[in-house]
């Protein structure tokens, strides 16, 4: 069944978020702060390792770099596009809309919603897993992602609240659209294109980690179009040449 992986992923986030909210009151504030710092460090490492794995390759005894120019162009052009559309502001407003209707007393709702949505959507596993689901019906990557997201949702929700559980909705829409589009875009989704999309996604994951650690606040939402720039380049190239 096409899309099954994303459905499982969505359920895992909701379940993990709900469990985290139940556990929230039993965790002292100082423990919550330490947990968030640990998550931030882990997110940075996950993003860094994914980016380096895609950029560097070994040829014989030589270390080669790949896709550097494409990565830079994707980040710059995609960020400009996202800034023009104001994606981050729209995510914040969506989180506030959910808060007003479902959790009026929780001021951290929007932060939990936006933070978790970005963490769960921009990683390489979300992109590659959704593409494999749509192209081949394989859900191995999304199953692994579901386990990781479910566990992290418990920790996120225990510190940031019920907004984390609602991040399952953007995940459902985002990964679902990629899965559905994969079949139509199959001729363009070469290994090089998928690799470049994964590299950019990993860099954005790193930016989320820095934001969680409060080292630097990045507007990662506005950078989301960067992930799809390699695919757009491939589409334009196929139309011209």
pLDDT digits (tens, 9 = 90+) for 78-92: 999 999 999 988 888
Residue 174 is predicted with a pLDDT of 92
Is residue 113 a contact partner of residue 167, using CB atoms and an 8 Å limit? yes
Distance CA 208, CA 211 (A): 5
What average pLDDT is seen over the chain?
87
Which among 10-14, 64-68, 157-161 has the top mean pLDDT?
Answer: 10-14
* pLDDT > 70? residue 107: no
In this structure, how many other beta carbons lie within 10 angstroms of the beta carbon of residue 23? Answer: 12
What is the Cα–Cα distance from 165 to 161, expressed in whole angstroms? 8
Q: Higher pLDDT residue, 96 or 192? A: 192
Backbone angles phi, psi at 59, to 5 degrees: -120, 105
Q: Is the pLDDT of residue 103 over 80?
A: no
Range in 49-63, 99-113, 199-213, 216-230 the model is least confident about: 99-113
DSSP state of 226: G
Residue 101 has pLDDT above 80, yes or no: no
Closest CA to 70 of 237, 239, 229, 238: 229
**pLDDT for residue 27:** 74
Whether residue 191 has pLDDT greater than 70: yes
Average pLDDT over residues 203-231: 89
């Amino acid at each position: 069944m096409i899309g099954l992986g994303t459905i499982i992923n969505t359920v895992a986030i909701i379940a993990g978020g709900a469990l985290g909210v139940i556990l929230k009151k039993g965790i002292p504030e100082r423990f919550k702060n330490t947990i968030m710092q640990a998550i931030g460090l882990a997110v940075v490492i996950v993003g860094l390792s994914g980016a380096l794995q895609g950029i560097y390759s070994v040829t014989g005894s030589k270390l080669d770099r790949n896709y550097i120019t494409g990565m830079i162009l994707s980040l710059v052009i995609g960020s400009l596009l996202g800034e023009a559309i104001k994606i981050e502001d729209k995510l914040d407003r969506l989180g506030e809309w959910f808060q007003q209707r479902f959790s009026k007393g929780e001021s951290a709702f929007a932060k939990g919603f936006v933070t978790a949505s970005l963490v769960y959507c921009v990683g390489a596993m979300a992109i590659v897993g959704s593409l494999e689901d749509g192209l081949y019906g394989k859900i191995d990557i999304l199953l692994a992602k579901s386990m990781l997201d479910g566990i992290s949702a418990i920790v996120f929700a225990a510190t940031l609240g019920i907004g984390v559980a609602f991040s399952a909705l953007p995940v459902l829409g985002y990964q679902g659209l990629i899965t559905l589009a994969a079949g139509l875009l199959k001729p363009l989704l070469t290994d090089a294109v998928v690799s470049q999309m994964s590299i950019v996604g990993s860099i954005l994951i790193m930016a989320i980690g820095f934001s969680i650690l409060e080292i630097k606040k990045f507007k990662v939402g506005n950078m989301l179009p960067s992930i799809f720039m390699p695919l757009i380049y491939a589409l334009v190239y196929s139309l011209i040449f």
